[in-house]
C-alpha cells in the first residue's frame, strides 16, 4: 500500500457478507469493507441479538436516532462476521478487548482481538460503516461531508497549513476538503490508539484530493466511498 493510493472497499451485503472470501488484511495490505445499514438490515435483524455482547447491545440502545442505532449495529455485526471468519469461531465468540490508552493508561485504547495478531478498526457515519483489518495497527474513518459552517469552524482546529489550504478554496469546495483531512487525521489517530485525545492541529495530512502527506511510521490512504462522504485508512509501516 502506498501513500496517495485510493483503496476500493468490498461491500458486505445481505446474503453474501456472512462468509467473506478471504482472511481479513493478511496479504497485500489492509482489507477494507463497506457496510450500508439499509442493505444490511436483514442480516442485523437476524444476527445482532445472538452475536453482539451485552456492552454492544447497551451502546446500541443508547442511540436516540434510529438511523444511528441501525448504523452502529450494522458495523458491529459486520465486524464480528469478518473477525469470526478469520479466527474460525462463531462471531459471538470473537474475544474483543481494548488496549490501555497510550496517553493516560486507561482502558479505552485501541480495540483488539485478544490473543490474535490481526488488527482492526471500525468507523460509522450517517448510515455507512467502514471496516479495516491488517497485520499491523490500523485505523479507519468515514465522515459525512458537513455543511460549510461546520467545515469553517472546525477547520480552524486543524494543522495551520490545512486551515490555510481550506481558506484558499472556494466556499463550495471547503466542506469536502475538510472531510478528507478529518478522515485521514482521525484514521491515523485511531491507529495510534489515542483518538481525539491528541490535538488535531499537531499532524499535517493535507486537504487536497489524492495528496495525502506522509506521517512518520504510517501510511495513510483515501478510500473510495459514496458521494457525500470521505474516508481513509492508516496503517503502521
Q: What is the arrangement of strands in the sheet containing 10-12, beginning at the earlier edge strand?
A: 10-12, 31-36, 128-134, 119-125
| Structure confidence at residue 124 (pLDDT) | 95
How far separated are the first and last CA of the chain, in Å rounded? 10
Q: What confidence score (pLDDT) does residue 17 get?
A: 41
- Which DSSP letter does residue 217 get? T
At 17-44, the pLDDT tens digits run 444 434 455 455 789 999 999 999 999 9
Q: φ, ψ for residue 23 (rounded to 5)?
A: -65, 135
* Residue 16, pLDDT score: 46
What is the model's pLDDT at position 41? Answer: 93
Written as tens digits, the pLDDT of the chain (237 aa) is: 665 578 999 999 875 444 443 445 545 578 999 999 999 999 999 999 999 999 999 999 999 999 999 999 999 999 999 999 888 999 999 999 888 777 676 667 778 898 888 899 999 999 999 999 999 999 999 999 999 999 999 999 999 999 999 999 999 999 999 999 999 999 999 999 887 778 899 999 999 998 888 899 999 999 999 999 999 999 998
pLDDT tens column, 53-87: 999 999 999 999 999 999 999 999 999 999 998 88
Task: Output the pLDDT for position 204.
Answer: 96
Buried/exposed 63-88: b ≥16 CB within 10 Å, e otherwise:
eeeeebbbbbbbbbbbbbbbbbbbbe
* Under 8 Å between Cβ of 148 and 175: yes
Q: What is the pLDDT of residue 20?
A: 44
Amino acid at each position: 500500500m502506498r501513500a496517495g493510493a485510493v483503496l476500493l472497499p468490498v461491500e458486505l451485503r445481505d446474503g453474501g457478507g456472512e462468509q467473506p472470501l478471504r482472511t481479513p488484511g493478511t496479504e497485500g495490505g489492509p482489507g477494507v469493507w463497506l457496510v450500508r445499514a439499509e442493505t444490511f438490515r436483514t442480516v442485523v435483524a437476524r444476527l445482532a441479538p445472538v452475536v453482539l455482547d451485552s456492552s454492544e447491545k447497551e451502546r446500541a440502545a443508547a442511540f436516540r436516532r434510529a438511523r444511528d442505532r441501525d448504523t452502529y449495529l450494522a458495523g458491529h455485526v459486520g465486524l464480528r462476521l469478518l473477525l469470526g471468519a478469520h479466527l474460525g469461531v462463531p462471531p459471538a465468540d470473537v474475544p474483543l478487548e481494548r488496549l490501555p490508552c497510550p496517553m493516560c493508561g486507561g482502558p479505552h485504547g485501541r480495540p483488539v482481538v485478544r490473543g490474535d495478531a490481526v488488527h482492526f478498526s471500525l468507523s460509522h457515519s450517517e448510515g455507512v460503516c467502514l471496516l479495516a483489518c491488517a497485520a499491523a495497527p490500523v485505523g479507519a474513518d468515514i465522515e459525512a461531508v458537513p455543511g460549510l459552517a461546520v467545515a469553517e469552524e472546525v477547520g480552524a482546529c486543524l494543522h495551520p497549513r490545512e486551515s490555510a489550504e481550506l481558506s484558499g478554496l472556494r466556499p463550495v469546495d471547503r466542506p469536502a476538503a475538510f472531510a478528507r483531512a478529518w478522515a485521514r487525521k482521525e484514521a491515523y489517530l485511531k491507529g495510534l490508539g489515542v483518538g481525539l485525545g491528541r490535538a488535531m492541529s499537531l499532524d499535517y495530512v493535507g486537504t487536497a484530493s489524492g495528496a495525502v502527506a506522509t506521517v512518520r511510521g504510517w501510511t495513510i490512504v483515501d478510500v473510495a466511498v459514496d458521494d457525500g462522504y470521505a474516508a481513509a485508512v492508516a496503517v503502521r509501516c
